[in-house]
A and B are shown apart, each in its own frame.
Chain A
């Protein structure tokens, strides 16, 4: 039974996570709306049930669970975050996704002779911001280096990056694993964060023996976040990735959009027999454009490597880059690495070192918003269940809306319930985001208060809610207009 349940969840879990949460919430919501006293019991029992039905922490097949009795996966992730600056990193060309191909170019980003790069102050600002958010130590002096390789998307023949002295290093990030994947709190080390520039975009036509290049992206600023090899499963990897997305969105340094390629994760994965100290041969997986794909690609790769181990063919696991093939749901060899690539790094002679003052760092630290982890812990301390906490803190605009509602004195639990059930459902149906709705946080707080003091019934409250969501207005106005005051006896 649990296996069946599991299989139905498996193919979608991360993409549908929010929806799944939503559904669960909605069910219990209906009950709690009608009989408020039973809310708590209902919630706790649904929470207890859930991990049982979908218990194994590595979702999916029994095969994988079998494998994980004998082997341990060691996973590190490199995340490239495209920054939402107005210009490219080293020239003033507009950084705008979706521009007409090959129009946002100039001698600097095209690497023409004599052109000199000048770093944008905003890139440094964002680098410091992200470094601090990831609990890193900052280098008050860092530098740029040239990483050299030939590829048609790289006009200069080298990428300006940071090699041995990155802007930030030695941090960590805390995540909560959702209950349906076993729950729990995990901390993953962050090796470093460095500034670099993006390459152009290569498009491979199926027909024809050529590729197409759009150089608008060449020179667009990136921050690369390298994790420690602390991640042990596809679920943890997907949660790590989601947390990076949340953090960059909270900070406003990137839109974190995976489809547009603004957030790209490359996974390094090896497995080793449990108890073995040294790492196995690691394989890199690219082309992961959703967290669900990341999770599935890792599970596939663990299974593939374990099979080779079990067949005594561990020597066939080679250092290589594999691509996730979404259609076939498997990883395929992209290129074998013959030894380590020789990028011949050397200090970028055209750029000075990047100097930060302690005052500058402190001023940025002081301006950081409340980050997802702090928000989750605060919501938890308010008495909200972990599913509510994860839902509310997931989207920064939802979290801000929620904070405003409770800031107006609304009951925390009711505010969470309204947001997670009826409002979330409305947003989903209308394909809107919370910032699009006409209902102000003030009025939601009023509505909750009106139901609480029994001016109106829960049922009437719901009617009013949908009108306010669509048209705006005030709760008091609506009550007067429609003469909705509950007979108070």
Chain B
């Protein structure tokens, strides 16, 4: 189901690459995409707020636009408050004094996690293909995306 929604997002998104009308997005896929959207929002707060002391309130409309989902004004309001809570929580985290700690680029994980370069064909490819909404013979069919002037 989630796959289907994702693929729906995928195939529906191209015309919106240029100008996204938040309201034009098919409502069927928006509900299942909200989770995805929140995920990105949180991520954004991690990566791009460089000034720890001032955390900007979320611009939910813009976030929805970058995630290619449509939200109603009431959803924007609802999401805004929740995202704000998360941001505030990061605000609290950022008050912790870490000046004496050497920065880590990643959390510690167990080593030896590389893979040998040995090819293996995934058995159940048919079920992946079956979830693709539109085919043109062997190719996935998507709205035209070449935006040439």
Contact = CB atoms under 8 A, between A and B. Distances in A.
A377 to B, nearest CB: 33
Interface of B: 2-3, 6, 9-11, 13-14, 16-18, 36, 40, 43-44, 46-48, 66, 68, 105-106, 109-111, 113-122, 125, 128-129, 136, 138-149
Contacts of B66: 148, 342, 344
A152 B68 CA distance: 13
Contacts of A355: 111
Interface in A218-242: none
A314 interface: no
B118 A87 contact: yes
Contact of B142 (A91, A101, A210): A210
B47 A112 contact: no
A191 to B, nearest CB: 19
Interface stretch (A39-47, A247-255, A327-335, A429-437): A327-335
A120 B145 contact: no
B115 A119 contact: yes
A152 B129 CA distance: 15
A86 B116 CA distance: 10
Contacts of A209: 143-144
Contacts of B147: 334-335
A204 interface: yes
A16 interface: no
Nearest to B68: A150
Interface in A332-364: 332-335, 342, 344-347, 352-353, 355
Contacts, number: 163
B124 to A, nearest CB: 9
The 8 A-B residue pairs with the shortest CB-CB distance, nearest first, are: A106-B122, A212-B139, A352-B109, A92-B120, A353-B106, A122-B117, A121-B114, A213-B140
Contact of A155 (B10, B111, B129, B144): B10
18 contacts: A86-B118, A105-B128, A106-B122, A112-B128, A118-B115, A122-B117, A143-B106, A151-B17, A152-B142, A155-B6, A157-B9, A212-B139, A212-B140, A335-B18, A344-B40, A344-B48, A344-B66, A352-B109
B145 to A, nearest CB: 5
A485 interface: no
A353 B114 CA distance: 11
Contact of A121 (B2, B117, B129): B117
A110 B16 CA distance: 22
A212 B136 contact: yes
Q: Which of A112, A146, A342 has the most chain B CB atoms inside 10 A of its CB?
A: A112
B107 to A, nearest CB: 8
Given A106-B125, A152-B10, A344-B44, A210 B115 contact: no
Nearest to A106: B122
